[in-house]
Amino acid sequence: MEAIFRTDSSLAFSNHLDHFMARWGYRRGNHRVEPGLYRLGNPDPKSPVFVTANYTLSFDALRNSLKGQDGYILVLDTHGINVWCAAGKGTFSTDELVKKIEECNVKDIVTHRVLILPQLGASGVSAHEVKQRTHFKVEYGPVRAADLPEYLQTHQATPAMRKVSFTLAERLVLVPVELVQRFLPFLAAFIVLWLLLSPLAAWGALAAMISGCVLFPVLLPWLPTRQFSIKGFVLGGLVALPFVLAAFLTTGGQQLWQQMVLALAFLTGIPAVTAYLGLNFTGSTPLTSHTEVEREMKRYIRVMAGMAGICIVCIIASIIVRFVA
């Protein structure tokens, strides 16, 4: 039997700092707590058992929402991944839940046989299989941990508690980690293009990153179609238009065909990059399903690669012409 850890509902400065660093992608895989069973407050054998992932933001959101509540928190080993993503990746799963129930000897700690799981973990856990293997009933709580106090009064979720949102604020918190992950490659592209081709080409690379990492999540609900790739192509095309126009207006002694080549690089590269970066947000939104994402990627990844290939050829040709001339 594993030892039972102790926790409380208050968040220290170190917890808030951890959340901030996680949002900015610092040591992304290290924001985790020890898997196992935790005592919250002063629970007794009749106290509820909550289940969550060992991602610090998931664990802290749960315990912080349970102020004044005595209970147990069963933390699954999801390798530091949040509940929703872990359910899709197979780490917040039936087998892992059953394993932790047995390892932590939960049946001897509480007299009831009910586990309260987050609704967003439902895709990874088979409730009837858990019941067959452990005799514990799986009860799916609300989407947001903040709704748990109200939910625990009746154990009935209202329609609002079941609704998955993706508000502007919820989309914006995803931006920092995307920017950090893409910063170095795009910085390198910016410097290379500035030195070897032109400042306009360098700013085009920066615009592609901002388009995919910032504008895409901000404008997501208003971009046409449900397919993220098409949304990205549309947004990237709009962002590319000023650069296409600038390619013809800022001649720099170039011939028309050279301007056309650079314009083509913008017109293919920026939409391709925007669409590709936009796919990173499919795991954070209620607008798509796992099967939809797989189908979309099979259909459009080659298109993105082809457009990116055309862009690279145009850039290389423009650089060669510049130095030969």
- Residuewise pLDDT in 10s, the chain (325 residues): 568 999 999 999 999 999 999 988 888 778 999 999 999 999 999 999 999 999 999 999 999 999 999 999 999 999 998 898 888 788 999 999 999 999 999 999 999 999 999 998 998 999 999 999 999 999 999 999 999 999 999 989 999 999 888 888 888 988 998 999 999 999 999 999 999 999 999 999 999 999 999 999 999 999 998 889 999 999 999 999 999 999 998 766 788 899 999 999 999 999 999 999 998 887 666 656 667 777 888 889 999 999 999 999 999 999 998 888 6
| Alpha-carbon span 294 to 300, nearest angstrom | 10
Query: What backbone phi and psi angles, to 5 degrees, belong to 38?
Result: -120, 140
SS3 146: helix
**165 neighbors 275 (Cβ within 8 angstroms):** no
Q: What are the extents of the domains in the chain? A: 4-164, 169-324
**284 neighbors 252 (Cβ within 8 angstroms):** no
**91 neighbors 77 (Cβ within 8 angstroms):** yes
DSSP per position, 213-238 = IIIHHHHGGGSSSS-HHHHHHHHHHH
| Alpha-carbon span 285 to 111, nearest angstrom | 38
Model pLDDT, residue 283: 65
For 203, the token pair is: 């700013």
Report in angstroms the alpha-carbon separations of 228 from 113, 195, 265, 273, 281: 42, 33, 22, 12, 8
Sign of the torsion angle spanned by Cα atoms 264, 265, 270, 273 = positive
Model pLDDT, residue 231: 95
| Alpha-carbon span 141 to 46, nearest angstrom | 18
Model pLDDT, residue 288: 60
Model pLDDT, residue 292: 73
CATH says 4-164 is which class? alpha beta
